[in-house]
Structure formats: C-alpha cells, structure tokens
Amino acid sequence: MDRNSLEHLVRVVSEEVYRGLDLGTSKEPGPSCPWCAETCSGHCAAEVQRLVEAGANRISAHAPGASVERSIASLIDHTLLKADAGYEDIRRICDEAKQYGFASVCVNPSMVSLASRSLAGSSVKVCTVVGFPLGATLSLVKALEAEASIVNGAKEIDMVLNIGALKSKDLATMGNDIQLVVQACHARDAACKVILEAAYLTDEEKISACSVAKASGADFVKTSTGFGPGGASAKDVALMRSVVGDDVGVKASGGIRDWKMLQEMVRSGATRIGASASVKILQEAKADKTASSFPVPVGEGRTGNDYY
C-alpha cells in the first residue's frame, strides 16, 4: 500500500469514528483520552496507521456508545424501485433513512427531486438508476439521464452497463458507455456505480466487466438490478472484489433480505449493500448479540475521492 493510500485510509477511519463521538471539547485524541486503553484501534489515527502498516486492509471500529446498527445502516442503500411506488412511499423510505442512518435512498429518476427535498438537511444521499434495468439505452441518453438526475439532487448514480455489448465481446463499446456516465457524474461530484447484472454473465464476462469498469473510472461495481433472473451471491462479490482490488467499491444488491445474508456479502468483499428489506435487516442485527463484533468496512469507492 503506498503512502497516499495509507494516509487516506487513516483519515477515513478517524473521521468515521469521530462522527459518532461527542467529546464536549476537542475532537483530537490525546494522552488523557478516556477510551484509549479500550478502543485505541478505532479512536487513535496513529494506532490505525500501525495496524495498516502491519498488514491490515480492513478495520472494524465503533465509537464508545455509538449504535452498532447505525454503523451497519451506513452500508445500506435503502431501495425502492418498484414501478407502482407513489409519492408517499418515497417519503416513507426517506423518513426511514433519516431515522436509521442509511447511506442513501435509491429511487427511480422521476422521484429524485422528491427524495432530495425529503432528505434536505440530513446526511442521507439520494441514489438513482440509469439505463435501468436492461442497460440497452443509448450511451448519450444514459449520460444525459445521469446529468439531469444529479441536477435534481442525486449524489450517486447506479448505471446498468451495455450487457449486449459485453456478451458480444465488444468491450470498447461497453467501456465508452461507462466512461460517458462516469464523466457526467464526476464533473458534478457524484459517484458512479456500474451494475453488471451478474446472473446473465459467465465468470469471464464478470471479470471483463469489472476490469473495464475500473479502467473507465467507476467508483463501484454492483452485482445486480434486482429485476434480472438472479441477485447477489457471495461467490460473485468475492470474484468482483478480486478483480477491482481495494480502491473500487463493491455493491451487493438483489435478494438481500436478512442480516445473515448481509454479513455474508460484506465478508465476501462488499462495501455497500442495496436492499429494500433494510429496516428488517437492522432489527435482526439489533437482536443479534454478536453484532457488535461484526467487521463493518470503513471507507469505500475509489481511493482519494470524496464521493462517499
């Protein structure tokens, strides 16, 4: 791990932990830190750096008194993409997202403005989908849809790649498709996640898709739309993580309906979870006495960006 990556990891871990603390005065740890003996690995940046230099590439840390469920919630895109979802449904999931502290709400593009207004003043982001769910939309249209959604308040874009081009081994067309959307996102400080729809793909095609997505500047790769013939699997998540390495996020989505499956996805390498059963998952985590030892990943997406 190079020095820039190390310094970034230290900064991200420290900021995540401090966000859950209320020290009353200074936010800087010092010799008299009351928790140092117990939580130094999470609270002290120097100790985090020591652990990373010793070989750690993932660290679990919780601030004293901070809610474990809140940490788990920060991994989840609270999702509602059903065709019949109405305005009250969108307001409801936004209220739930604020209550539980989800990373984002993921809604269809026509609902982005409403979600953005409903989440105003909160830390919850608006995520939307582009070229959804088939990936067969014209590249220019995908880029324009991404741009318009960001103008309307979206901070994260989940695009479906050109599956037909991938199946035809036309990686240049698929890469150009991704690049246009990535450029539209990054020009406006938004993150871009690339959906593979893994159930349609061979392992070779999954590897090609992840490689091209990473080379095209994507911030995440994502397993599924939730509308295809299959959802997320631990095997696919692990394969995707092995291809993109540590500096690109992996989002597991599709069929993740319980706490057990969320744990399986994270242990396989996922740093974000897309789910509609988010509240149920948190309730199950809260009832699990071992949840406090679950290694919640800290930091995600491309190293060095500020999209998460």
Catalytic residues: 158, 222, 251
DSSP letters spanning 175-209: HHHHHHHHHHHHTTT-EEEEE--GGG--HHHHHHH
Is 279 in contact with 300 (CB distance < 8 Å)? Answer: no
* CA dist., res. 246 & res. 208, Å (int): 17
Task: Quote the strand ranges of 197-248, DSSP E.
Answer: 220-222
The two three-digit tokens of residue 39, written as one number: 């939580």
Dihedral angle over CA of 254, 201, 270, 72, nearest 10 = 0
* CA dist., res. 180 & res. 160, Å (int): 13
Is 97 in contact with 119 (CB distance < 8 Å)? Answer: yes
Q: Identify the sign of the CA torsion 21, 24, 27, 29.
A: negative
Instruction: Output Rg (C-alpha) for the chain, integer angstroms.
Output: 19
Query: Token match 């897309």: residue?
Result: 274
* CA dist., res. 283 & res. 263, Å (int): 14
